[in-house]
Amino acid sequence: MSESLPLSEKIALVTGASRGIGRAAAIALAKAGAHVIAVARTQGGLEELDDEIRTATGKSATLIPLDLTDGDAVDQMGYAVFQRFGRLDILVHAAATLGPMTPVAHIEPKHWDRVLSVNLTATYRLIRTSEPLLRAAQGGRAIVLTSGRAGQPKAFWGPYGATKAAVENLVRTWADELEQTSIRAVLLDPGRMRTKMRAEAYPGEDPATLPDPSEIGPLIVELAQADRGLPNANVVFADWKTSRGSPASA
């Protein structure tokens, strides 16, 4: 049966895997046959994810409790993945933080530094660590989550929007550098989705009006197989959903 799964024998590393879109990605990749390396700060959340993957697939995930702002730990993770698996077929980088919703002039330096570290610097460290692993695979795929806010600045979204814009620039630069390799990198915009971060940004919004993160799972599995990468336009979940004939609630 495993041979019929589209990602059978693939190794997939997912950040932010304990909740939201990262968790949905990890479950979808596991159901498609991949062995998931799940990365998140919370051990309990990772264990709950592992339980769900075991129930759905009969197989366990590799769990790595890790704060991505710890650059040395990210490097060590890359070495550990190489030692155990020798390669990385799929990278899904979903970890991010919203930061304070406040005017730019009111942002405290410690809060600015935290958002910059989680959203931007951690992305650079992850790219630096994972590229050799992706090169060791046959057709490595990197999927980095972004946001429409990167190109549409709005009051009180300063740290988040600025770092997401920088992440887009960084990933596009990286993808251009990978043009002559078999690695493909893509930016994925999930849009409005029923996540904790969305609830923090819009506390009065009815979550029942938003797509569940599980709905983006099939798209992530598709991108993990596709020979598609930047500098093409970002992949937008709502557009993909509409193209499949489903109403786009995002």
**Domains recognised in the chain with CATH numbers:** 2-243 (3.40.50.720)
Q: What share of the chain is helix, strand, coil (3-state, %, to 5)?
A: 50, 15, 35
Higher model confidence: residue 19 or residue 203?
A: 19
Q: Which of 143, 122, 167 is nearest to 235 (CA)?
A: 143
Average pLDDT in the chain = 92
Cis amide linkage into residue 231, ω under 30° from 0: yes
The two structure tokens encoding residue 115: 């958002």
Higher model confidence: residue 185 or residue 204?
A: 185
Q: Long-range contacts made by residues 50-56, C-beta under 8 angstroms, separation at least 24?
A: 52/27, 53/26, 53/27, 56/27, 56/30, 56/31
The alpha-carbon radius of gyration of the chain (Å, integer) is 17
- Stretch 207-223: mean pLDDT, rounded? 91
> Which H or E run contains 144?
strand 141-145
pLDDT band at 247 (very low <50, low <70, confident <90, very high): low
pLDDT at 11: 98
Beta-carbon count within 10 A of 69 CB: 18
pLDDT band at 196 (very low <50, low <70, confident <90, very high): confident
- Stretch 180-203: mean pLDDT, rounded? 87
160 is catalytic: yes
Paired with 12 in beta bridges are 36, 90
> Which H or E run contains 56?
helix 43-57
pLDDT at 230: 62
- Which range (42-51, 57-66, 81-90, 221-230) has the least confidence? 221-230
pLDDT at 232: 66
pLDDT at 200: 83
pLDDT at 149: 87
pLDDT at 3: 53
Compute the C-alpha angle 71/68/154, nearest 5°.
115
pLDDT at 66 over 90: yes
pLDDT at 249: 46
- Stretch 80-104: mean pLDDT, rounded? 96
Reduced to 3 states, what is the DSSP secondary structure of residue 36? Answer: strand
pLDDT at 163: 97
pLDDT at 10 over 90: yes
Question: Residues of the chain with pLDDT > 90: what percent?
Answer: 78
pLDDT tens for 168-191 read 999 999 999 999 999 999 999 998
pLDDT band at 250 (very low <50, low <70, confident <90, very high): very low
Query: What is the value of pTM for the model shown?
Result: 0.92
Higher model confidence: residue 142 or residue 249?
A: 142
Reduced to 3 states, what is the DSSP secondary structure of residue 37? Answer: strand
